[in-house]
Amino acid sequence: MNLKKILRPHILQLKPYSSARDEFTGKADVYLDANENAFGSTSDDDRMRRYPDPYQSEVKEKISRIKEIPTENIFLGNGSDEPIDLIIRACCRPAVDNIIIMPPTYGMYQVSAELNDVEIRKVPLNKDFSMDAESVLKTINENTKLIFICSPNNPSGNSMDRQAVRDILASFEGLVVIDEAYIDFSKEKSFISELATYSNMVILQTFSKAWGLAALRLGMCFAHSEFIAVLSKIKPPYNINGATQEMALNALDKISVLKEMVEKTLTQREYLRSALKSIPTVREIYPSDANFLLVKIDQARKIYDKLIEKLIIVRDRSGVKLCEDCLRITVGNQKENDELISQLKKICL
């Protein structure tokens, strides 16, 4: 990977803001360097009066042990949204460079690119939501900097073919961003184990789904250490707040809880699948490696509206290309799933 050719030229020279916590990193008795409050905090937790660790060293150490990857390959963001935006801003010259996405997919890649005035080249997924790797490779030009692959994909739920992803990694000189937000629910392994093989691979994961911490806004990005260093340089200095770091440290000791929740999710996913099958207007339930099902059903929009009347909210994807007449349904707990099925039966039968 030639990072110099991928990054916007000025990013290499850029000098980051140097915070008080950057200029002195040891342990001291008296801290009068950051204009913090010397008398306490309006929070019950007195630690909140201090600026948080801008490097998130402790959190990264724990993630490093769990993911079996050095801390120099880890970047943390305010949700996955922040790394998505930083990656685009680091690499794409506005009105010059482009990114490739494969719709139907997660909306933030397009939103971030548009916000940064970066061209979006769309290579739609096939009808079965598999990737058209050949068309992706044909769509690359000299200004293509990034290819976004969402696997398992939102909203379709399927994982992308591993070899097809590898083909793109091997033939593309820019960065391939693999969004693994739902990887914990998948029968497929994370691509993390192949980071050493592909220096142009960037992996996104999140605490929002399997970890059950959507409110924390904490996203993980794994990549070559040189690229991680660039992201760390251009991020806002205190992008992960102190409360989030504290809660993440706690959560990272509870992998057994995560595993239990994933097991429950998978059980309920298959329960929901079989219950939906008994509804005659359900035309198709797509395979899912995630914590949701994409369901093709007659008159999807009307059913969506009727469910809202019953105070049950699913995601209407019927207006999305290749998802015509589809609802995306998050796997709920037993009670929620039973309530959904019972209302659907009343509406559809």
Ligand X SMILES: *Cc1c(COP(=O)(O)O)cnc(C)c1O
Nearer to ligand X, 150 or 347 (CB): 150
CB closest to ligand X, residue no = 79
Q: Are 118 and 111 in contact (CB under 8 A)?
A: no
Minimum Å gap between C-beta 51 and ligand X is 23
Nearer to ligand X, 136 or 183 (CB): 183
Q: Are 92 and 113 in contact (CB under 8 A)?
A: yes
Minimum Å gap between C-beta 181 and ligand X is 4
Total residues binding ligand X (CB under 6 A)? 13
Minimum Å gap between C-beta 212 and ligand X is 12
Nearer to ligand X, 103 or 219 (CB): 219
Query: Between vectors from CA 237 to CA 234 and to CA 243, what angle results, nearest 5°?
Result: 135
Minimum Å gap between C-beta 216 and ligand X is 9
Q: Which stretch binds ligand X (CB under 6 A): 36-44, 67-75, 205-213, 262-270?
A: 205-213
Nearer to ligand X, 3 or 129 (CB): 129
CB count, 10 Å around CB of 109? 24
* Interacting residue with ligand X among 112, 144, 151, 154 (CB under 6 A): 154
Site for ligand X in 222-281 (CB under 6 A): none
Minimum Å gap between C-beta 307 and ligand X is 21
Nearer to ligand X, 4 or 321 (CB): 321
| Residue burial 288-320, b: 16+ Cβ < 10 Å; e: rest | bbbbbbbbbbeebeebbebbeeeebebbbbbeb
Minimum Å gap between C-beta 83 and ligand X is 9
Pattern of binders to ligand X over 69-98, x per CB under 6 A? ----------xxx-----------------
Nearer to ligand X, 79 or 94 (CB): 79
Site for ligand X in 284-313 (CB under 6 A): none
* Interacting residue with ligand X among 123, 181, 223, 331 (CB under 6 A): 181
**301 vs 347: CA distance, rounded Å:** 12
Minimum Å gap between C-beta 40 and ligand X is 33
Which amino acid makes up residue 267?
Answer: T
Nearer to ligand X, 191 or 347 (CB): 191
* Interacting residue with ligand X among 71, 143, 208, 268 (CB under 6 A): 208
* Interacting residue with ligand X among 56, 73, 98, 206 (CB under 6 A): 206
Q: Are 332 and 340 in contact (CB under 8 A)?
A: yes
Nearer to ligand X, 266 or 341 (CB): 266
Nearer to ligand X, 209 or 224 (CB): 209
219 binds ligand X (CB under 6 A): yes
* Interacting residue with ligand X among 106, 129, 148, 227 (CB under 6 A): 106
Q: Are 293 and 157 in contact (CB under 8 A)?
A: yes
Q: Which residues bind to ligand X, rule: CB under 6 A?
A: 79-81, 106, 150, 154, 179, 181, 206, 208-209, 214, 219
